Amino acid sequence: MENKARAGKLNAYRTGEVVFLLLVVFYFSGGLALLPASWIAVFDATPIIHRKLLAFAAGAAVTLGLALFEWAHRDRELGNRSFLTRIIGTWKSASTPWIAGSFVFFGSWWTASSLLRHFAFKTGFDMAIFTQAVWNTTQGEWFYSSIKGGICLLGDHFAPLLALLALPYRIWPEPGLLLAIQAFAVASCVFPLARIVRKSGQSPSWAVLYCLAFALYLPVRNAVRFDFHSEVVAMPLLFWAFAFLEEKKTMLASIFLALALTAKENMATVAFAFGLYACLKREKALRFGIFWILTSLIYFYAVVHFFIPKLSGAPYFYLEGNFTEWLRAGWAPLMKHLFRSSTFSYLAKIYGPLAFTSVLAPTSLILTIPTLTQNILARNEMTLSIFHQYTATLTPFVFISSVMALAKVRSYRRYWAYGILLTSVLMSGVSEVYPMRRQWITITPRTMRVEKILRTIPAEYSLRTHELYAPHAANRKELHIYENNHPKEGGSWKAQHADMVAIDRQLLKGDLDDALNALKQSGYKIDFEDDGFYIFKKSRA
Protein backbone atom coordinates (compact mmCIF):
# COMPACT_ATOMS: atom_id res chain seq x y z
CA MET A 1 0.00 0.00 0.00
CA GLU A 2 2.84 2.35 0.91
CA ASN A 3 4.65 1.60 -2.39
CA LYS A 4 1.46 2.31 -4.30
CA ALA A 5 1.11 5.69 -2.57
CA ARG A 6 4.72 6.52 -3.39
CA ALA A 7 4.20 5.58 -7.02
CA GLY A 8 1.05 7.71 -7.17
CA LYS A 9 2.87 10.66 -5.66
CA LEU A 10 5.77 10.29 -8.09
CA ASN A 11 3.40 9.97 -11.06
CA ALA A 12 1.56 13.11 -9.97
CA TYR A 13 4.84 14.94 -9.68
CA ARG A 14 6.05 13.69 -13.08
CA THR A 15 2.76 14.82 -14.64
CA GLY A 16 3.23 18.26 -13.10
CA GLU A 17 6.75 18.47 -14.55
CA VAL A 18 5.49 17.52 -18.02
CA VAL A 19 2.77 20.17 -17.86
CA PHE A 20 5.34 22.71 -16.64
CA LEU A 21 7.70 21.96 -19.54
CA LEU A 22 4.85 22.18 -22.06
CA LEU A 23 3.86 25.57 -20.66
CA VAL A 24 7.46 26.80 -20.89
CA VAL A 25 7.78 25.60 -24.47
CA PHE A 26 4.43 27.17 -25.33
CA TYR A 27 5.49 30.50 -23.83
CA PHE A 28 8.93 30.74 -25.42
CA SER A 29 7.78 29.44 -28.81
CA GLY A 30 4.61 31.51 -28.80
CA GLY A 31 2.70 28.27 -29.28
CA LEU A 32 4.07 27.93 -32.79
CA ALA A 33 5.89 24.70 -31.93
CA LEU A 34 2.88 22.98 -30.37
CA LEU A 35 -0.30 24.11 -32.12
CA PRO A 36 -1.68 23.29 -35.59
CA ALA A 37 -1.63 25.85 -38.38
CA SER A 38 -5.37 26.52 -37.97
CA TRP A 39 -4.78 27.78 -34.43
CA ILE A 40 -1.87 29.95 -35.56
CA ALA A 41 -4.17 31.46 -38.19
CA VAL A 42 -6.62 32.37 -35.42
CA PHE A 43 -3.79 34.02 -33.48
CA ASP A 44 -2.77 36.03 -36.54
CA ALA A 45 -6.34 37.21 -37.11
CA THR A 46 -7.09 37.97 -33.44
CA PRO A 47 -3.78 38.76 -31.69
CA ILE A 48 -5.48 39.53 -28.38
CA ILE A 49 -6.20 35.79 -28.00
CA HIS A 50 -2.55 35.03 -28.62
CA ARG A 51 -1.45 37.60 -26.03
CA LYS A 52 -3.83 36.29 -23.38
CA LEU A 53 -2.79 32.68 -23.92
CA LEU A 54 0.88 33.59 -23.65
CA ALA A 55 0.23 35.57 -20.47
CA PHE A 56 -1.71 32.62 -19.04
CA ALA A 57 1.08 30.19 -20.00
CA ALA A 58 3.70 32.37 -18.31
CA GLY A 59 1.69 32.74 -15.10
CA ALA A 60 0.74 29.09 -14.98
CA ALA A 61 4.30 27.93 -15.68
CA VAL A 62 5.94 30.01 -12.95
CA THR A 63 3.24 29.17 -10.40
CA LEU A 64 3.35 25.45 -11.14
CA GLY A 65 7.15 25.42 -11.34
CA LEU A 66 7.58 27.08 -7.95
CA ALA A 67 4.99 24.75 -6.39
CA LEU A 68 6.78 21.70 -7.78
CA PHE A 69 10.17 22.97 -6.64
CA GLU A 70 8.91 23.64 -3.12
CA TRP A 71 7.24 20.22 -3.02
CA ALA A 72 10.49 18.56 -4.07
CA HIS A 73 12.43 20.63 -1.54
CA ARG A 74 10.18 19.41 1.29
CA ASP A 75 10.09 15.78 0.10
CA ARG A 76 13.58 14.25 -0.18
CA GLU A 77 12.36 11.31 -2.24
CA LEU A 78 10.87 13.62 -4.85
CA GLY A 79 13.87 15.91 -4.65
CA ASN A 80 16.20 13.09 -5.64
CA ARG A 81 14.09 12.29 -8.72
CA SER A 82 12.97 15.78 -9.70
CA PHE A 83 14.06 16.92 -13.14
CA LEU A 84 13.26 20.52 -12.16
CA THR A 85 15.42 20.31 -9.04
CA ARG A 86 18.35 18.92 -11.03
CA ILE A 87 18.07 21.70 -13.62
CA ILE A 88 18.00 24.43 -11.00
CA GLY A 89 20.83 22.68 -9.21
CA THR A 90 23.03 23.28 -12.24
CA TRP A 91 22.52 27.02 -11.67
CA LYS A 92 24.97 26.61 -8.80
CA SER A 93 27.30 23.94 -10.17
CA ALA A 94 27.46 25.26 -13.75
CA SER A 95 26.48 28.91 -13.52
CA THR A 96 29.11 30.09 -16.03
CA PRO A 97 27.70 28.02 -18.94
CA TRP A 98 24.20 29.21 -18.02
CA ILE A 99 25.27 32.85 -18.10
CA ALA A 100 27.31 32.48 -21.30
CA GLY A 101 24.43 30.60 -22.89
CA SER A 102 21.96 33.33 -21.92
CA PHE A 103 24.23 35.91 -23.57
CA VAL A 104 24.32 33.97 -26.84
CA PHE A 105 20.65 32.97 -26.74
CA PHE A 106 19.12 36.34 -25.84
CA GLY A 107 21.59 38.31 -27.94
CA SER A 108 20.62 36.24 -30.97
CA TRP A 109 16.91 36.30 -30.12
CA TRP A 110 16.84 40.06 -29.62
CA THR A 111 18.81 40.60 -32.82
CA ALA A 112 16.28 38.53 -34.77
CA SER A 113 13.40 40.44 -33.18
CA SER A 114 14.98 43.82 -33.94
CA LEU A 115 15.77 42.86 -37.54
CA LEU A 116 12.24 41.60 -38.14
CA ARG A 117 10.88 44.92 -36.86
CA HIS A 118 13.29 46.76 -39.16
CA PHE A 119 12.37 44.76 -42.27
CA ALA A 120 8.69 45.16 -41.43
CA PHE A 121 9.25 48.94 -41.79
CA LYS A 122 8.62 49.66 -38.10
CA THR A 123 11.94 51.40 -37.37
CA GLY A 124 11.68 55.12 -37.96
CA PHE A 125 12.96 58.59 -37.19
CA ASP A 126 15.63 57.80 -34.60
CA MET A 127 16.93 54.80 -36.51
CA ALA A 128 17.34 56.93 -39.63
CA ILE A 129 19.12 59.70 -37.70
CA PHE A 130 21.72 57.46 -36.08
CA THR A 131 22.27 55.31 -39.16
CA GLN A 132 22.87 58.35 -41.36
CA ALA A 133 25.20 59.98 -38.83
CA VAL A 134 27.27 56.81 -38.46
CA TRP A 135 27.45 56.30 -42.25
CA ASN A 136 28.45 59.92 -42.83
CA THR A 137 31.19 59.50 -40.22
CA THR A 138 32.57 56.57 -42.22
CA GLN A 139 32.70 58.91 -45.23
CA GLY A 140 34.60 61.65 -43.38
CA GLU A 141 31.49 63.81 -42.77
CA TRP A 142 31.69 63.45 -39.01
CA PHE A 143 28.24 62.94 -37.43
CA TYR A 144 26.55 64.98 -40.21
CA SER A 145 22.75 64.78 -40.01
CA SER A 146 20.61 66.31 -42.74
CA ILE A 147 17.50 65.04 -40.92
CA LYS A 148 18.29 67.27 -37.93
CA GLY A 149 18.74 70.33 -40.10
CA GLY A 150 22.18 69.80 -41.61
CA ILE A 151 24.05 69.95 -38.30
CA CYS A 152 26.61 67.74 -36.63
CA LEU A 153 24.46 65.31 -34.65
CA LEU A 154 26.54 66.01 -31.55
CA GLY A 155 24.80 69.39 -31.55
CA ASP A 156 21.53 67.60 -30.78
CA HIS A 157 22.66 64.91 -28.35
CA PHE A 158 26.34 64.78 -27.47
CA ALA A 159 27.21 61.13 -28.19
CA PRO A 160 30.78 60.81 -29.51
CA LEU A 161 30.56 57.08 -28.71
CA LEU A 162 28.98 56.77 -32.16
CA ALA A 163 32.46 57.23 -33.68
CA LEU A 164 33.45 53.79 -32.34
CA LEU A 165 30.47 52.23 -34.11
CA ALA A 166 31.60 53.77 -37.39
CA LEU A 167 34.54 51.33 -37.43
CA PRO A 168 32.47 48.12 -37.89
CA TYR A 169 29.89 50.02 -39.93
CA ARG A 170 32.54 50.96 -42.48
CA ILE A 171 33.25 47.26 -42.99
CA TRP A 172 29.58 46.23 -43.13
CA PRO A 173 27.40 49.29 -43.86
CA GLU A 174 24.03 47.76 -43.00
CA PRO A 175 21.53 49.41 -40.60
CA GLY A 176 20.86 45.95 -39.17
CA LEU A 177 24.43 45.88 -37.90
CA LEU A 178 23.63 48.68 -35.44
CA LEU A 179 20.61 46.73 -34.20
CA ALA A 180 22.73 43.59 -33.75
CA ILE A 181 25.41 45.53 -31.88
CA GLN A 182 22.72 46.97 -29.62
CA ALA A 183 21.15 43.56 -28.94
CA PHE A 184 24.42 41.83 -28.06
CA ALA A 185 25.66 44.82 -26.05
CA VAL A 186 22.57 44.62 -23.83
CA ALA A 187 22.77 40.83 -23.65
CA SER A 188 26.37 41.18 -22.45
CA CYS A 189 25.06 42.90 -19.30
CA VAL A 190 24.60 39.42 -17.83
CA PHE A 191 28.37 39.12 -17.34
CA PRO A 192 28.91 42.16 -15.07
CA LEU A 193 25.54 41.54 -13.41
CA ALA A 194 26.56 37.99 -12.49
CA ARG A 195 29.91 39.27 -11.27
CA ILE A 196 28.22 41.84 -9.02
CA VAL A 197 25.97 39.15 -7.57
CA ARG A 198 28.88 36.85 -6.81
CA LYS A 199 31.06 39.60 -5.34
CA SER A 200 28.17 40.56 -3.06
CA GLY A 201 28.56 37.18 -1.38
CA GLN A 202 25.59 35.43 -2.95
CA SER A 203 25.69 32.01 -4.54
CA PRO A 204 26.12 31.43 -8.31
CA SER A 205 22.49 30.29 -8.51
CA TRP A 206 21.43 33.82 -7.56
CA ALA A 207 23.59 35.13 -10.40
CA VAL A 208 21.68 32.94 -12.87
CA LEU A 209 18.37 34.03 -11.33
CA TYR A 210 19.19 37.72 -11.79
CA CYS A 211 20.40 37.14 -15.35
CA LEU A 212 17.12 35.41 -16.16
CA ALA A 213 15.17 38.26 -14.55
CA PHE A 214 17.21 40.73 -16.61
CA ALA A 215 16.40 38.89 -19.85
CA LEU A 216 12.69 38.90 -18.96
CA TYR A 217 12.65 42.55 -17.84
CA LEU A 218 10.22 44.30 -20.17
CA PRO A 219 11.99 47.71 -20.24
CA VAL A 220 15.16 45.93 -21.38
CA ARG A 221 13.44 43.99 -24.15
CA ASN A 222 11.52 47.01 -25.38
CA ALA A 223 14.61 49.25 -25.44
CA VAL A 224 16.51 46.64 -27.47
CA ARG A 225 13.66 46.07 -29.91
CA PHE A 226 13.13 49.81 -30.46
CA ASP A 227 15.30 51.91 -32.78
CA PHE A 228 19.04 52.05 -32.19
CA HIS A 229 20.20 54.43 -29.42
CA SER A 230 23.70 54.97 -28.10
CA GLU A 231 22.62 55.06 -24.45
CA VAL A 232 21.17 51.56 -24.78
CA VAL A 233 24.54 50.31 -26.05
CA ALA A 234 26.15 51.94 -22.98
CA MET A 235 24.18 49.82 -20.47
CA PRO A 236 26.96 47.23 -19.94
CA LEU A 237 29.46 50.07 -19.40
CA LEU A 238 27.44 51.23 -16.39
CA PHE A 239 27.27 47.70 -15.01
CA TRP A 240 31.04 47.24 -15.38
CA ALA A 241 31.76 50.65 -13.84
CA PHE A 242 29.81 49.66 -10.72
CA ALA A 243 31.35 46.19 -10.61
CA PHE A 244 34.88 47.58 -10.64
CA LEU A 245 33.99 50.30 -8.12
CA GLU A 246 32.75 47.65 -5.69
CA GLU A 247 36.02 45.79 -6.18
CA LYS A 248 37.94 49.01 -5.44
CA LYS A 249 39.42 49.01 -8.94
CA THR A 250 38.76 52.69 -9.34
CA MET A 251 40.89 53.16 -12.44
CA LEU A 252 38.91 50.55 -14.37
CA ALA A 253 35.66 51.94 -12.97
CA SER A 254 36.66 55.41 -14.22
CA ILE A 255 37.50 54.09 -17.69
CA PHE A 256 34.10 52.45 -18.11
CA LEU A 257 32.29 55.42 -16.61
CA ALA A 258 34.15 57.76 -18.97
CA LEU A 259 33.12 55.61 -21.94
CA ALA A 260 29.51 55.67 -20.76
CA LEU A 261 29.76 59.45 -20.50
CA THR A 262 30.30 59.61 -24.26
CA ALA A 263 26.97 57.89 -24.98
CA LYS A 264 24.80 60.94 -24.26
CA GLU A 265 25.13 64.23 -22.43
CA ASN A 266 22.72 63.26 -19.63
CA MET A 267 25.10 60.44 -18.64
CA ALA A 268 26.82 63.21 -16.68
CA THR A 269 23.97 63.05 -14.15
CA VAL A 270 24.58 59.31 -13.73
CA ALA A 271 28.32 59.96 -13.29
CA PHE A 272 27.45 62.53 -10.61
CA ALA A 273 25.37 59.89 -8.80
CA PHE A 274 28.32 57.48 -9.03
CA GLY A 275 30.49 60.09 -7.32
CA LEU A 276 27.91 60.67 -4.61
CA TYR A 277 27.54 56.92 -4.03
CA ALA A 278 31.31 56.54 -3.70
CA CYS A 279 31.46 59.40 -1.18
CA LEU A 280 28.74 57.80 0.93
CA LYS A 281 30.64 54.50 0.85
CA ARG A 282 33.87 56.15 2.02
CA GLU A 283 35.72 52.91 2.50
CA LYS A 284 35.25 52.30 -1.21
CA ALA A 285 36.75 55.36 -2.90
CA LEU A 286 36.34 58.87 -1.53
CA ARG A 287 38.76 60.41 -4.04
CA PHE A 288 36.97 58.62 -6.86
CA GLY A 289 33.68 60.11 -5.65
CA ILE A 290 34.95 63.67 -5.39
CA PHE A 291 36.63 63.40 -8.80
CA TRP A 292 33.46 62.25 -10.55
CA ILE A 293 31.20 64.75 -8.81
CA LEU A 294 33.39 67.60 -10.06
CA THR A 295 34.08 66.05 -13.47
CA SER A 296 30.42 65.36 -14.19
CA LEU A 297 29.41 68.92 -13.29
CA ILE A 298 32.14 70.46 -15.44
CA TYR A 299 31.44 68.08 -18.33
CA PHE A 300 27.69 68.70 -18.32
CA TYR A 301 28.11 72.47 -18.14
CA ALA A 302 30.68 72.48 -20.97
CA VAL A 303 28.59 70.24 -23.22
CA VAL A 304 25.29 72.03 -22.64
CA HIS A 305 26.57 75.61 -22.68
CA PHE A 306 29.44 75.37 -25.13
CA PHE A 307 29.78 72.27 -27.32
CA ILE A 308 26.12 71.69 -28.24
CA PRO A 309 25.33 75.38 -29.00
CA LYS A 310 28.58 75.62 -30.98
CA LEU A 311 27.76 72.54 -33.06
CA SER A 312 24.05 73.23 -33.57
CA GLY A 313 23.96 77.02 -33.68
CA ALA A 314 21.18 77.05 -31.08
CA PRO A 315 20.83 76.69 -27.28
CA TYR A 316 20.49 73.22 -25.80
CA PHE A 317 16.85 72.41 -26.44
CA TYR A 318 16.08 69.54 -24.10
CA LEU A 319 16.79 71.39 -20.87
CA GLU A 320 14.90 74.55 -21.79
CA GLY A 321 11.99 72.73 -23.39
CA ASN A 322 11.44 70.44 -20.43
CA PHE A 323 12.76 71.10 -16.96
CA THR A 324 13.26 74.85 -16.82
CA GLU A 325 9.66 75.25 -17.91
CA TRP A 326 8.59 74.12 -14.44
CA LEU A 327 10.38 77.13 -12.92
CA ARG A 328 8.05 79.36 -14.89
CA ALA A 329 4.95 77.24 -14.35
CA GLY A 330 5.17 77.14 -10.56
CA TRP A 331 4.60 74.54 -7.87
CA ALA A 332 0.93 73.73 -8.50
CA PRO A 333 1.34 72.47 -12.10
CA LEU A 334 4.50 70.63 -11.08
CA MET A 335 2.78 68.76 -8.23
CA LYS A 336 -0.12 67.90 -10.52
CA HIS A 337 2.35 66.58 -13.06
CA LEU A 338 4.25 64.50 -10.50
CA PHE A 339 1.37 62.92 -8.63
CA ARG A 340 -0.43 61.31 -11.54
CA SER A 341 -1.59 57.74 -11.95
CA SER A 342 0.83 57.40 -14.88
CA THR A 343 3.76 58.19 -12.56
CA PHE A 344 2.84 55.47 -10.08
CA SER A 345 2.15 53.04 -12.91
CA TYR A 346 5.61 53.80 -14.30
CA LEU A 347 7.26 53.18 -10.93
CA ALA A 348 5.45 49.86 -10.62
CA LYS A 349 6.65 48.76 -14.08
CA ILE A 350 10.23 49.73 -13.23
CA TYR A 351 10.58 48.28 -9.72
CA GLY A 352 7.76 45.70 -9.69
CA PRO A 353 9.49 43.00 -11.77
CA LEU A 354 12.09 42.61 -8.99
CA ALA A 355 9.39 42.56 -6.30
CA PHE A 356 10.34 46.13 -5.27
CA THR A 357 13.46 44.77 -3.59
CA SER A 358 15.52 47.63 -5.07
CA VAL A 359 14.05 50.09 -2.57
CA LEU A 360 15.58 48.06 0.28
CA ALA A 361 19.06 49.31 -0.65
CA PRO A 362 18.75 53.11 -0.34
CA THR A 363 22.44 53.85 -0.82
CA SER A 364 22.75 52.20 -4.23
CA LEU A 365 19.21 53.35 -5.05
CA ILE A 366 20.73 56.84 -5.32
CA LEU A 367 22.07 55.74 -8.69
CA THR A 368 18.52 55.46 -10.05
CA ILE A 369 17.56 59.00 -9.06
CA PRO A 370 19.08 60.96 -12.00
CA THR A 371 17.28 59.07 -14.77
CA LEU A 372 14.14 58.59 -12.72
CA THR A 373 13.96 62.32 -12.05
CA GLN A 374 14.55 63.19 -15.71
CA ASN A 375 11.87 60.79 -16.92
CA ILE A 376 9.25 61.88 -14.40
CA LEU A 377 9.88 65.63 -14.73
CA ALA A 378 10.08 65.66 -18.53
CA ARG A 379 7.12 67.19 -20.32
CA ASN A 380 7.51 64.58 -23.05
CA GLU A 381 5.01 61.86 -22.13
CA MET A 382 7.09 59.19 -23.89
CA THR A 383 9.67 59.29 -21.10
CA LEU A 384 7.12 57.59 -18.83
CA SER A 385 6.82 54.74 -21.31
CA ILE A 386 8.77 51.51 -20.96
CA PHE A 387 8.55 50.97 -24.72
CA HIS A 388 11.40 53.30 -25.64
CA GLN A 389 15.05 53.92 -24.74
CA TYR A 390 14.42 56.16 -21.74
CA THR A 391 14.90 53.40 -19.15
CA ALA A 392 18.36 52.42 -20.44
CA THR A 393 20.35 54.43 -17.89
CA LEU A 394 17.97 53.44 -15.10
CA THR A 395 17.78 49.67 -15.55
CA PRO A 396 21.33 48.75 -14.42
CA PHE A 397 20.82 50.37 -11.04
CA VAL A 398 17.37 48.86 -10.48
CA PHE A 399 19.07 45.45 -10.67
CA ILE A 400 22.18 46.51 -8.76
CA SER A 401 20.06 47.89 -5.90
CA SER A 402 18.09 44.66 -5.72
CA VAL A 403 21.33 42.65 -5.60
CA MET A 404 22.73 44.88 -2.85
CA ALA A 405 19.50 44.59 -0.86
CA LEU A 406 19.25 40.80 -0.99
CA ALA A 407 22.95 40.39 -0.20
CA LYS A 408 22.02 41.51 3.33
CA VAL A 409 19.10 39.10 3.67
CA ARG A 410 19.96 35.94 5.56
CA SER A 411 16.53 34.49 6.39
CA TYR A 412 14.02 32.90 4.01
CA ARG A 413 16.26 33.55 1.01
CA ARG A 414 14.50 30.82 -0.96
CA TYR A 415 11.21 32.68 -0.68
CA TRP A 416 12.81 35.95 -1.75
CA ALA A 417 14.00 34.11 -4.86
CA TYR A 418 10.47 32.84 -5.42
CA GLY A 419 9.16 36.38 -5.20
CA ILE A 420 11.64 37.77 -7.72
CA LEU A 421 11.08 34.91 -10.15
CA LEU A 422 7.31 35.19 -9.82
CA THR A 423 7.12 38.95 -10.36
CA SER A 424 9.71 38.86 -13.14
CA VAL A 425 7.68 36.37 -15.13
CA LEU A 426 4.26 37.85 -14.38
CA MET A 427 5.40 41.34 -15.43
CA SER A 428 7.41 40.20 -18.45
CA GLY A 429 4.53 40.56 -20.86
CA VAL A 430 4.30 38.24 -23.83
CA SER A 431 7.28 36.22 -25.01
CA GLU A 432 9.49 37.72 -27.70
CA VAL A 433 7.96 35.38 -30.26
CA TYR A 434 4.71 37.36 -30.17
CA PRO A 435 6.11 40.66 -31.57
CA MET A 436 8.35 38.65 -33.89
CA ARG A 437 5.31 36.87 -35.29
CA ARG A 438 3.42 40.16 -35.66
CA GLN A 439 6.33 41.61 -37.65
CA TRP A 440 6.80 38.46 -39.72
CA ILE A 441 3.24 38.40 -41.07
CA THR A 442 3.53 42.02 -42.21
CA ILE A 443 6.58 41.28 -44.36
CA THR A 444 5.14 40.61 -47.81
CA PRO A 445 6.62 40.28 -51.30
CA ARG A 446 5.68 43.93 -51.83
CA THR A 447 7.49 45.17 -48.71
CA MET A 448 10.55 43.14 -49.70
CA ARG A 449 10.53 44.72 -53.16
CA VAL A 450 10.21 48.20 -51.70
CA GLU A 451 13.07 47.56 -49.28
CA LYS A 452 15.28 46.26 -52.07
CA ILE A 453 14.51 49.28 -54.29
CA LEU A 454 15.26 51.76 -51.49
CA ARG A 455 18.64 50.14 -50.93
CA THR A 456 19.55 50.49 -54.61
CA ILE A 457 19.05 54.28 -54.75
CA PRO A 458 22.63 55.60 -55.26
CA ALA A 459 24.21 57.20 -52.20
CA GLU A 460 25.22 60.30 -54.17
CA TYR A 461 21.54 61.23 -54.66
CA SER A 462 19.77 63.26 -52.00
CA LEU A 463 16.47 61.63 -51.04
CA ARG A 464 13.20 62.60 -49.38
CA THR A 465 11.02 59.72 -48.24
CA HIS A 466 8.70 58.52 -45.49
CA GLU A 467 9.92 58.24 -41.91
CA LEU A 468 9.45 54.45 -41.94
CA TYR A 469 11.40 54.11 -45.19
CA ALA A 470 14.24 56.46 -44.23
CA PRO A 471 16.29 53.92 -42.20
CA HIS A 472 16.50 51.67 -45.26
CA ALA A 473 18.02 54.43 -47.39
CA ALA A 474 20.06 56.23 -44.73
CA ASN A 475 23.48 55.52 -46.24
CA ARG A 476 23.72 58.91 -47.93
CA LYS A 477 24.75 62.42 -46.97
CA GLU A 478 21.40 64.07 -47.68
CA LEU A 479 18.26 62.35 -46.40
CA HIS A 480 14.99 64.05 -45.48
CA ILE A 481 11.65 62.96 -44.03
CA TYR A 482 8.68 63.46 -46.37
CA GLU A 483 6.15 64.06 -43.58
CA ASN A 484 8.34 66.61 -41.79
CA ASN A 485 7.67 70.22 -42.75
CA HIS A 486 9.90 71.88 -40.15
CA PRO A 487 11.77 74.72 -41.91
CA LYS A 488 15.14 73.39 -40.70
CA GLU A 489 14.42 69.78 -41.59
CA GLY A 490 11.86 68.36 -44.04
CA GLY A 491 10.67 71.81 -45.02
CA SER A 492 14.14 73.14 -45.84
CA TRP A 493 15.21 74.14 -49.35
CA LYS A 494 17.47 71.07 -49.58
CA ALA A 495 14.62 68.76 -48.64
CA GLN A 496 12.15 70.36 -51.01
CA HIS A 497 14.71 70.15 -53.84
CA ALA A 498 16.06 66.66 -53.16
CA ASP A 499 17.30 64.74 -56.17
CA MET A 500 14.77 61.99 -55.59
CA VAL A 501 11.51 61.49 -53.69
CA ALA A 502 10.18 58.05 -52.73
CA ILE A 503 6.56 57.87 -51.60
CA ASP A 504 4.06 55.10 -51.03
CA ARG A 505 0.31 55.46 -51.25
CA GLN A 506 -0.04 53.18 -48.21
CA LEU A 507 1.89 55.65 -46.04
CA LEU A 508 0.53 58.92 -47.40
CA LYS A 509 -1.68 60.79 -44.98
CA GLY A 510 -3.31 62.84 -47.73
CA ASP A 511 -4.69 62.14 -51.18
CA LEU A 512 -2.31 60.33 -53.56
CA ASP A 513 -3.27 62.41 -56.58
CA ASP A 514 -2.64 65.64 -54.67
CA ALA A 515 0.82 64.40 -53.67
CA LEU A 516 1.65 63.30 -57.22
CA ASN A 517 0.49 66.60 -58.72
CA ALA A 518 2.43 68.63 -56.14
CA LEU A 519 5.63 66.77 -56.98
CA LYS A 520 5.10 67.14 -60.71
CA GLN A 521 4.49 70.87 -60.33
CA SER A 522 7.75 71.09 -58.36
CA GLY A 523 9.67 69.73 -61.32
CA TYR A 524 9.71 66.01 -60.51
CA LYS A 525 9.05 63.19 -62.94
CA ILE A 526 8.13 59.60 -62.18
CA ASP A 527 11.26 57.47 -62.44
CA PHE A 528 9.77 54.24 -61.07
CA GLU A 529 6.36 52.93 -60.05
CA ASP A 530 5.34 49.59 -58.58
CA ASP A 531 1.94 48.93 -57.01
CA GLY A 532 1.58 52.43 -55.55
CA PHE A 533 5.23 52.89 -54.63
CA TYR A 534 6.72 55.80 -56.56
CA ILE A 535 10.19 57.18 -57.05
CA PHE A 536 10.35 60.69 -58.47
CA LYS A 537 13.45 62.27 -59.91
CA LYS A 538 14.09 65.98 -60.04
CA SER A 539 14.20 67.41 -63.55
CA ARG A 540 17.33 69.47 -64.13
CA ALA A 541 16.80 72.28 -66.61
47 exposure class (CB count in 10 Å sphere: 0-12, 13-18, 19+): middle
Is pLDDT at 36 greater than 90 in this prediction?
no
Which residues, 6 or more positions from 233, have their beta carbon under 8 angstroms from its beta carbon?
Answer: 161, 165, 181, 182, 185, 186, 263
Among 126-130, 153-157, 466-470, 488-492, the least confident range: 488-492
CA end-to-end span of the chain, whole Å?
100
pLDDT digits (tens, 9 = 90+) for 231-274: 999 999 999 999 999 999 999 999 999 999 999 999 999 999 99
Helix (H) or strand (E) holding 144: strand 144-145
What are the counts of helices (DSSP H) followed by strands (DSSP E) for the chain?
A: 30, 7
Query: Residue 535 pairs with which residues in a beta bridge?
Result: 502, 528
pLDDT digits (tens, 9 = 90+) for 1-23: 567 777 888 888 899 989 999 99
pLDDT digits (tens, 9 = 90+) for 331-358: 787 788 888 888 899 999 999 999 999 9
- Ranked by mean pLDDT, the top range of 146-150, 353-357, 521-525 is 353-357
Minimal CA–CA distance to 117: which of 439, 527, 488, 452?
Answer: 439
User: Do the Cβ atoms of 250 and 285 come closer than 8 Å?
Assistant: yes
What phi and psi, each to the nearest 5 degrees, are found at residue 529?
-145, 135
What is the reported pLDDT for 85? 87
What is the reported pLDDT for 315? 85
Domain borders along the chain are 2-93, 105-123+174-408, 445-538
- Structure letter (DSSP) for residue 502: E
Among 28-42, 50-64, 292-306, 424-438, the least confident range: 28-42
Is pLDDT at 386 greater than 90 in this prediction?
no
User: Do the Cβ atoms of 480 and 464 come closer than 8 Å?
Assistant: yes
| Average pLDDT taken over every residue of the chain | 91
Which residues, 6 or more positions from 511, have their beta carbon under 8 angstroms from its beta carbon?
Answer: none
Question: CA–CA separation, 488 vs 481, rounded Å?
Answer: 11
Question: CA–CA separation, 57 vs 178, rounded Å?
Answer: 33
Question: CA–CA separation, 388 vs 372, rounded Å?
Answer: 14
Confidence of residue 84 (pLDDT cuts 50, 70, 90): confident
